[in-house]
Structure formats: C-alpha cells, structure tokens
C-alpha cells in the first residue's frame, strides 16, 4: 500500500561529539521517506525553497519516492540547527527557521486523496490537519511531533491527534504532552486524546509499542559508534510504517515485527550524518541486521515454572 507523508524537508546544521556538518539534507519527511521506501511506495508532500538544488532531489529519486507533492517556491528551505551532548538522547535545538513552511498550503496531487496510509511527520499541526482534511478515509493515520509544536501549537495538535491511530512520540515529548512521568499513565492519557497505538521512542534505550492487544519492547541495536542521532526517530517511523503498509490487514504480530524493522532502520541512520549511510543501504544489509535483532532478543522456550526447579527449597 502507498504511504502519503507530509513533513519537513530541511537543511540541518548539526554538532555531535564526533563532528558536525552544515546544510545537511534532512527533515522529518526526508528521513521517513527514505527509510519507508525500502518497504512501500512513498508519496511526499512538502515545500522547499530556491536553495534546494537538483542534487538534493537525487536521494529521493534513487529510492523512487514520488515527488509530485513537493512544491518549490520562492524563499529559503526550512532550516534546523541542533547539538548533541555525550548522551545521544540529550539534544538541544539551537535554531528553527520555518522559512517557506511559514506560508505553506499543502496541496494533495490528483489521485493521492485515496492514499490508504498517511504519515503526518513532525511539522506544524495545522499543516498536518490540512492534509487529514484532504484525504479520503485512509485505513491508517499515523503521526509524529516534537516539543516545539507541543509547546507552541497545543490546541492544533490535539485536534490532529483526535484523528490519529498511531502516535510516535519520545519520552520527553510524552511527558510534555500529558504532564505524566509514568509511561503507562501517560499512554492512557494519549489514548484519551485519540491514538490507540502509542510508540514510545527512548533513543538508545529502544522503543516500547503500546497496542490495545498488548505491549512490546525492543532494545536499540548496539552500534559501535553513534555518529549523528538526527533522523533516528523518523527513520524508525519510516521502517515501522513502511513495513506495516506492506502487509495486507496487518495484525499485532506485524506490529511487533514493524517495531524491529523500525529499529533496524534507525540503527543505520545514526551511523553517519544526513543520508550518508542509508543512501548506500542494501536489502541484504537490512535483512542481516534484522537477523542480528533476532539473536539479540530471542531467548529459549524454557517453561518459566521450571526456572527454579532443582534449586527451589
Ligand atoms: P528526529 O531526529 O528523527 O527527531 O528528526 C530530526 C529532523 O527533524 C531534522 O532533520 C530536522 O530538520 C527536523 N526538524 C527539527 N525540528 C523540526 C520542527 N520543529 N518541525 C519539523 N521538522 C523539524
């Protein structure tokens, strides 16, 4: 099934303990689209400025992302700057310039209104809403957001969430959104806002998927060097939803696999700046790391009652 994504296409300035870069191709929709494209057809809705050159379009074309919904207008592309401490979960936003996104009116191209899966990547909740209003009863609406929008556009975000089924959120955003520290209580509070599947991203500590049918946790893959965490959350969502969209009538076991697929894609994303690692990624490497996750998390089928067997008093 096709996935329609709306979100930012950006130039990022990033500083990490191992280095940094300026004008790196990024954005929530970018990282999502590239990761999801390994599993499903992706349709991208976003806007860029005159500073967005042909070479910036190449990674999307290489992955066959449909760009009919990418507008190019006068002005500068969205820009974000951030810095990471020694703890990769510890990110500081230094600057956010909406630029061409300030006046953006998303237009859904002919034929895209029937997209069965919609991903509202991190962007102004009002733009997310405009997209929801233009699509025709999609089977799945999923969304992501950020403290920036939780703090500045709360009412709009709550309106969007009322139509969302799957929410991707990190633990600090979850606290901001609900005012609850306890993760289970916070998830209950999110469910009262709309989303019934809540995917809590905990950076290098992995992710927990709260579904009505049960809860599933996956650790983050132990990568040797986290070069740049930027885009990990969007790549996770891309792998997760890309896989779900590739399964007809996805059920709870598919959602468990999707959490692993998302973690696989995020683990590649953090190995280099911008799209440097994922651009060269092969299906074989994805399968190999999926296998790595299975080895990491699989344990034998010993009967739990037999655990203390011989030693029990
Ligand atoms: P992630 O690391 O997955 O949370 O996403 C990082 C990407 O989100 C970067 O490439 C940024 O360009 C983009 N981004 C940062 N802040 C915002 C914002 N307020 N709205 C939309 N996109 C943003």
Q: What's the pTM?
A: 0.96
Q: Considering the chain, what percentage of its residues have pLDDT values greater than 70?
A: 99
pLDDT of 311:
64
63-121 pLDDT per residue, tens: 999 999 999 999 999 999 999 998 888 899 999 999 999 999 999 999 999 999 999 99
What residues are in contact with ligand 1 under a 6 Å CB criterion? 8, 10, 12, 26-28, 31, 80, 96, 122-123, 146, 148, 230-234
pLDDT at residue 30 is higher than 80: yes
Per-residue pLDDT tens digits for 190-209: 999 999 999 999 988 999 99
DSSP string, the chain: --EEEE---EEEEEEETTEEEEEEEE-HHHHHHHHHTTTS-EEEEEEE-TT--HHHHHHHHHTT-EEEEEEE-SSPPEEEEEEE-SSTT-EEEEEEE-GGGGG------TT-TT-SEEEE-SS-HHHHHHHHHHS---SEEEEE--HHHHHH-HHHHHHHHTT-SEEEEEHHHHHHHHS-SSHHHHHHHHHHHS-SEEEEE-GGG-EEEEETTEEEEEPPP--S-----TTHHHHHHHHHHHHHHHSTT--HHHHHHHHHHHHHHHHHHTTSSTTTTGGG--HHHHHHHHHHHHHHH------GGGSSGGG--
pLDDT of residue 266: 97
Q: Counting atoms of ligand 1 from 1, which one is nearest the CA of 26?
A: 10
Complete domains list, the chain, with CATH: 3-297 (3.40.1190.20)
Residue whose CA lies nearest to ligand 1 atom number 15: 80
Section 280-302 average pLDDT: 94
């Amino acid at each position: 099934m096709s996935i329609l994504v709306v979100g930012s296409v950006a130039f990022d300035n990033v500083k990490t303990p191992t280095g940094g870069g300026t004008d790196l191709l990024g954005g929530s929709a970018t990282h999502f689209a590239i990761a999801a494209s390994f599993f499903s057809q992706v349709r991208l809705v976003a806007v860029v400025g005159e500073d967005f050159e042909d070479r910036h379009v190449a990674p999307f074309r290489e992955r066959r992302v449909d760009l009919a919904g990418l507008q190019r207008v006068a002005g500068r592309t969205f820009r974000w700057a951030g810095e990471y401490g020694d703890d990769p979960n510890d990110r500081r936003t230094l600057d956010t310039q909406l630029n061409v996104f300030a006046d953006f009116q998303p237009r859904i191209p002919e034929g895209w209104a029937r997209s069965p899966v919609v991903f509202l990547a991190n962007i102004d909740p009002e733009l997310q809403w405009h997209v929801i209003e233009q699509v025709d009863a999609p089977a799945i609406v999923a969304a992501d957001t950020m403290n920036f929008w939780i703090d500045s556009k709360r009412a709009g975000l709550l309106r969007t969430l009322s139509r969302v089924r799957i929410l991707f959120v990190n633990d600090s955003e979850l606290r901001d959104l609900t005012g609850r520290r306890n993760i289970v209580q916070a998830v209950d509070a999110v469910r009262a806002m709309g989303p019934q599947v809540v995917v809590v991203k905990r950076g290098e500590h992995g992710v927990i998927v709260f579904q009505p049918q049960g809860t599933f946790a996956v650790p983050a893959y132990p990568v040797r060097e986290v070069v740049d965490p930027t885009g990990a959350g969007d790549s996770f969502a891309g792998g997760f939803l890309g896989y779900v969209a590739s399964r007809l009538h996805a059920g709870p076991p598919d959602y468990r696999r999707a959490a692993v697929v998302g973690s696989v894609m995020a683990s590649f994303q953090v190995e280099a700046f911008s799209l440097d690692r994922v651009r060269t990624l092969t299906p074989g490497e994805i399968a190999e790391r999926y296998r790595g996750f299975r080895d990491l998390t699989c344990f034998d089928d010993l009967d739990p009652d037999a655990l203390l067997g011989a030693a029990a008093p």
